[in-house]
Structure 1
Amino acid sequence: MSSDEKGRDVAACEVCGRELRTAERGRPRRYCSRACRTRAYRARLAEPPAPEEPAAQPGRPAEATLDQGRVVRAAVALADREGLAALSMRRIATDLGVGVMSLYRYVPSREELNDLMVDAVFAARPLPEPGPDGWRARLELSARQEWELYRRHPWMSHLVAVTTRPPVAPALMAYTDWRMRALDGHGLDFATLVQVAIMIGTYVQSAAVPLAHEAQAARTSRHTRREWAQARKEAFARSIGAARLPMVAEFGDEAFEASEPENIFEFGLHRMLDGIGLLLPDQSAPGPMGAQ
């Protein structure tokens, strides 16, 4: 639980971590939308019931070595295995072999846990100093390295993408700072440096959202995207034909390959870097991280 600028309590959705206003009447809200409630319900159906836990005891061996780092690592491992919908304090406690209430001594809320998870993932892959030569090579490296983090941890895009309230995660913010320094000294004002750095992060995060959905769909259906598309090929053909979509009707294996998240990311990344280059009045001016 956190508080907004007017002092009113704000809770976090148990599935995606987005903030939601506490209900003034009735039971507290747990999910931000019907879709999140449905994902949580399906996750509970697929999960065997957790065994009854004994009350937390300070002398238990597992709790004696418990700290914030262990809690966060267990949370990241659980999200990697089963997705964000499966993440709960009870599940983490079960994995660690401790009482659930003992976790709150190290992580006071789900919102803070989300922040710590994002920070831990980014902290494990800091951008190099000073980085390669040239602003474009640096920005491309930063985008590719962030993309790789979402490929390894698809759930993370649900916590950082499509929001104006990013996680309180210094290691994530370090990527923004690094990108701004990569362009510093090339004639852009500070506000534009901020916009470019955030634009790159927003692009990578948004491009990575399908990775999270695909990982969840693969766990649920046990089918790859290609297998799913093949099974629905006839239904697509009927719908497209009835809708009179001549260009879409030409889609084949080449178009399917082009629409893969990895290839969409590659295409958009290069077009974005091309556009940034048009902003620079003098691409030959050296910056603090080296010359172009």
Structure 2
Amino acid sequence: MPTCEMCGRALRPAERGRPPRYCSRACRARAYRVRVTDRQAADAKKRVEPADAKKRVESADAPKGAEPSEVPDAALDQPLIVRTAVELADSDGVAAVSMRRIATRLDVGVMSLYRYVASREDLNDLMVDAVFGARPLPEPGPDGWRARLELSAREEWAIYREHPWMSQLVAVTTRPPMSTNLMAYTDWRMRAVAGHRLDFATMVQVAIMIGTYVQSAAIPLAYETQAARATRHTRQQWAAARQSAIHRTVNAAELPMVSEFGPEAFQAAEPANIFEFGLHRMLDGIAALLAEPGQKR
């Protein structure tokens, strides 16, 4: 079945005339803008070619180990596009990732990317899949359901520590990315509690609860990274600069417990410490569930 050249959606075959290339006027207009931009870039490149002739000759004489400045179309593939998208997200945040920025980074036309990635949503799925695929859970894993669930939570937390933007793609959603490597975490957790006389639906809930908790706990990491990048101040520096405003707010609101906050409480509220505290309390709750009458220990 033919698909839209811009978004990858399935197209209805034409009853007569030329086969359709786009699913909507929006996709047709988008394709036109991309073609115009690529044509302008090509024209600009031609205009500077005479001035760059000497540089090209010098480049030809460069050592064979020199890194090329552009990616030949023959070398362009989906893994390279996804890897570049992940690098952009790591450096500038996931909101800064776009097909145009990826194309600029690789020095190729935007339309070239759509031969390998159908849409931005597909790109998000592929980014999630690549990052989770780089950190698979071990088989068979440690002994005991608790050790396994704890390991899976820590491995996922490590992903969000390394790639803080990732939680913005997977956290707190009923429409998770289509990623087999992400789904493998859910499957692994279900197998960790299998054999304890839990019904299938409850095993699903346990596995998803673990993932949802870790993802929710990781969201502050993403926003803290964004804030630090924008303000060039860490959370500690921000708090130190806002001490007078914090005291005024707390005293005006008559919050006797919050007014006792000090360095120890501030440290306890760090995302990593909240994650540790919540993880053990959640595992305690699962232990209580498995200890109920009729459940295997």
User: Cα gap change, 1:245/1:281 in structure 2, threshold over 3 Å: closer, same or farther?
Assistant: closer
Query: Which one has the largest radius of gyration?
Result: 2
2:272 aligns with one of 262, 272, 276 = 262
Structure 1 segments unaligned to the other structure (5+ residues): 4-21, 29-51, 287-291
Do 1:187 and 1:282's aligned partners in 2 also have CA atoms closer than 8 Å? no
Aligned-partner Cα distance in 2 for 1:268–1:122? 22
Residue type at the aligned position of 1:150: Y
Do 2:71 and 2:107's aligned partners in 1 also have CA atoms closer than 8 Å? no
Structure 1 counterpart of 2:214: 204
User: Cα gap change, 1:119/1:243 in structure 2, threshold over 3 Å: closer, same or farther?
Assistant: same
Residue type at the aligned position of 2:136: P
Structure 2 counterpart of 1:101: 111
Q: What does the per-residue CA deviation read over 1:202-257, in whole Å, with 9 as the maximum and x for residues that have no partner? A: 00000000000000001100000000011011001001100101110110100100
Do 1:157 and 1:205's aligned partners in 2 also have CA atoms closer than 8 Å? yes
> Residue 62 of structure 1: CA displacement?
2.2
Structure 2 counterpart of 1:190: 200
SS at match of 2:72: helix
1:145 aligns with 2:133: no
Structure 2 counterpart of 1:175: 185
> Residue 137 of structure 1: CA displacement?
0.3
Structure 2 counterpart of 1:17: none
Structure 1 counterpart of 2:244: 234
Q: Which has the higher helix share?
A: 2
Residue type at the aligned position of 1:111: E
User: Cα gap change, 1:255/1:281 in structure 2, threshold over 3 Å: closer, same or farther?
Assistant: closer
1:86 aligns with one of 82, 89, 96 = 96
Output aligned runs, 1:21-100, within 5 Å: 53-54=41-42, 62-100=72-110
Structure 2 counterpart of 1:251: 261
Q: What does the per-residue CA deviation read over 1:4-49, in whole Å, with 9 as the maximum and x for residues that have no partner? A: xxxxxxxxxxxxxxxxxx9x9xx99xxxxxxxxxxxxxxxxxxxxx
Do 2:129 and 2:180's aligned partners in 1 also have CA atoms closer than 8 Å? yes
Aligned-partner Cα distance in 2 for 1:82–1:63? 26
Residue type at the aligned position of 1:148: A
Structure 1 counterpart of 2:281: 271
> Residue 99 of structure 1: CA displacement?
1.0
Do 1:258 and 1:264's aligned partners in 2 also have CA atoms closer than 8 Å? yes
Structure 1 counterpart of 2:58: none
> Residue 113 of structure 1: CA displacement?
0.2
Aligned-partner Cα distance in 2 for 1:259–1:61? 46
User: Cα gap change, 1:185/1:282 in structure 2, threshold over 3 Å: closer, same or farther?
Assistant: farther
Aligned-partner Cα distance in 2 for 1:61–1:156? 27
Structure 2 segments unaligned to the other structure (5+ residues): 1-6, 10-23, 31-39, 46-69
TM-score when scaled to structure 1? 0.78
TM-score when scaled to structure 2? 0.76
Aligned-partner Cα distance in 1 for 2:85–2:141? 31
Residue type at the aligned position of 1:162: V
1:161 aligns with one of 171, 176, 180 = 171
Q: What does the per-residue CA deviation read over 1:170-217, in whole Å, with 9 as the maximum and x for residues that have no partner? A: 000000000000000011110000000000000000000000000000
Number of equivalences: 242
Structure 1 counterpart of 2:230: 220
The structure, 1 or 2, with the larger RCO (C-alpha pairs under 8 Å, 6+ apart) is 1
User: Cα gap change, 1:61/1:196 in structure 2, threshold over 3 Å: closer, same or farther?
Assistant: closer
> Residue 98 of structure 1: CA displacement?
1.0
Aligned-partner Cα distance in 2 for 1:61–1:230? 47
SS at match of 2:173: coil
Aligned-partner Cα distance in 2 for 1:204–1:184? 21
Aligned-partner Cα distance in 1 for 2:271–2:102? 31
Aligned-partner Cα distance in 2 for 1:95–1:77? 10
Computed over aligned residues only, the root mean square deviation of the Cα atoms, in angstroms, reads 2.7
Do 1:186 and 1:282's aligned partners in 2 also have CA atoms closer than 8 Å? no
Residue type at the aligned position of 2:41: E
How high is the sequence identity, in percent, across the aligned residues?
69
